[in-house]
Amino acid sequence: MKSSLAALCALHVIGDALILWLGYAWLSIPESNTAHLLWSLLIVLLFVCSALWLHGTAFVYFRRSPESNFRNSAITALRHLPALFVLAVVAIVLYWLLSVVNGMLGQPAFQLASWLTMTIRKPVPPPRILALFHGIVWLVRWLVLPAILVPAAAVLAVEGFGGVRNFFGKPRLLRALVVCVLLLGAVWAPMKLLAWVPEMPNFGAEMGSFLVRAAIAYLLFAGLLLVLERAISSGSPSLTQRNSSATP
């Protein structure tokens, strides 16, 4: 089992880097004609399927621990890749809708602020209401949706479409908080770290600072995603199912 776990960790470190490189390569593809557009769509499909297979393998491996085998986990995740792909499409649509709603909150915030001002006879600044709306959207983006989608991905990776019946269980606040904290550490924190540009005396120091920050950001990304998959896929009982019985 130790060798399988080491292989899984190494695959995550190398695989996530290759997937990120693939995404970066996709951004440089021109879409000037039909051939380039089809090639771009193929790269996107490869990017999504590779990411789903990589992390689906981790979900299966940790769900079946201590009897886990890396090769069998990869085969199981590959077999259930269509179910994970459907979930990924649903997630993309949900986050796109959330982004659209987030961009349309200005007018409702102004109307609610005006109504509150007239009702309580005290000025209510629209920016304060808008900040409240954005805070709610932030919670949905980082807490509510991940608390649903990440455990669902863990179930689908192990059981395929047959795992849909396990989606609707008793809500677990602790699980939601674990998902939120680990996702913030794996995605939000690395982005903030890369965006932070400290003052440096020369270009060489700036480049050194960027390389250090990029390395730390990547290790946070890959490492905390693996921790998230371990936390969600196992437990006593498993966080992804109502009991801890092994899946055949």
Tell me: pLDDT of 97 over 80: yes
Measured in residues, the chain has a length of: 248
245 located within any domain: no
More confident: 81 or 44 = 81
Measure CA of the first residue to CA of the last residue in the chain; give whole Å: 19
54 located within any domain: yes
pLDDT value at position 201? 82
244 located within any domain: no
Burial letters for 92-125: b for 16+ Cβ neighbours within 10 Å, e otherwise?
Answer: eeeeeeeeeeeeebeeebeebbeebeeeeeeeee
pLDDT value at position 140? 93
239's tokens: 């966080």
Asked which of 33-42, 118-127, 181-190, 210-219 is least confident by mean pLDDT, the reply is 33-42
Q: Which residues sit opposite 247 in a β-bridge?
A: none
248 located within any domain: no
116 located within any domain: yes
pLDDT value at position 31? 65
240 located within any domain: no
Asked which of 15-29, 68-82, 126-140, 217-231 is least confident by mean pLDDT, the reply is 15-29
Q: What is the mean pLDDT of the chain?
A: 84
219 located within any domain: yes
116's tokens: 């509150």
Quote the CA–CA distance of 153 and 164 in Å, as a whole number.
Answer: 10
Average pLDDT score over residue span 53-57: 92
pLDDT value at position 174? 83
Tell me: pLDDT of 118 over 80: yes
243 located within any domain: no
Quote the CA–CA distance of 166 and 242 in Å, as a whole number.
Answer: 8
Number of domains present in the structure of the chain? 1
Tell me: pLDDT of 238 over 80: no
Range of the domain at 46: 2-233
